[in-house]
Amino acid sequence: MDIAILTLFPDMFAGPFSESMLKRAQEWDHISIHLHNIRDYTLDKHHTADDTPFGGGQGMVMKPEPLFEAVEAALAEVGSAEGQETPVILLTPQGRPFTQAIAQELSQYPALMFICGHYEGVDARVEAIATDSISIGDYVLTGGELPAMVIVDAVARLLPGVLGDDMSAVDDSFATGLLEGPAYTRPAEYRGESVPDILLSGDHGAVDKWRRQQSLKRTFERRPDLLDTADLTKEDQAYLEKLKAGDA
């Protein structure tokens, strides 16, 4: 996957993209990340990328000219592989809320582009070249750089080969509509707390059932809203009834 990121602060990506999974994903050619400094596409000698808003108001607004130029140049670089149009994603608090389902959706494209807004936002005309807008939450950050890092991380781990074991992402929280249950590793006992006996039993069927119930229990306790849209079996529903009644 080719990923183009348009930003005023490309150095912000050096740490997150040069460590751990994202570093390996690039070394193994699963993803290729192209950082475009928006100031390189400005039209004056001072490399001005923002200006005061028409009509007055607080803060500065990112100018349309360098953003249009940057998008066009970046699109020419990543192309539209396999006949698919490259999504041009504007990162903004006004975008659709980012979810695991959207990460899955984006992971199907051969290329992605992210526009990192800054200051008080971007000139509204930039929305004409964006094919999508995404927010990572109902709060305001200083720019779109951190959201870009979050989304790239979430999408990259879904690509074949990135995690090593492609099944690792299958049981992640939200992947099945539920939160993931608790996990344990060695030692089997630590500071008086022991690993549940069922996990040491060797009974894989019983372990799978326990994990499913723990996933349901954790979701019921922490994010009951997810249960409204989760794909639940009759057995799941029966267990939830026990949880509601305090019998589980």
- Residue numbers annotated as active site: 93, 120, 157, 172
Pairwise CA distance, residues 25 & 31, whole Å: 6
Pick the closest to residue 156 from 14, 6, 11, 16 (CA basis).
16
The partner residues of 32 in beta bridges, in order of sequence, read 2
Question: What's at 33, amino acid-wise?
Answer: I
Pick the closest to residue 36 from 64, 63, 75, 65 (CA basis).
75
* Structural tokens at position 10: 């490309």
Residue 101 sits at φ, ψ, to 5 deg, of: -65, -40
Dihedral sign of CA atoms 212, 218, 220, 226 in order: negative
Pairwise CA distance, residues 127 & 115, whole Å: 10
Pick the closest to residue 239 from 223, 225, 220 (CA basis).
220
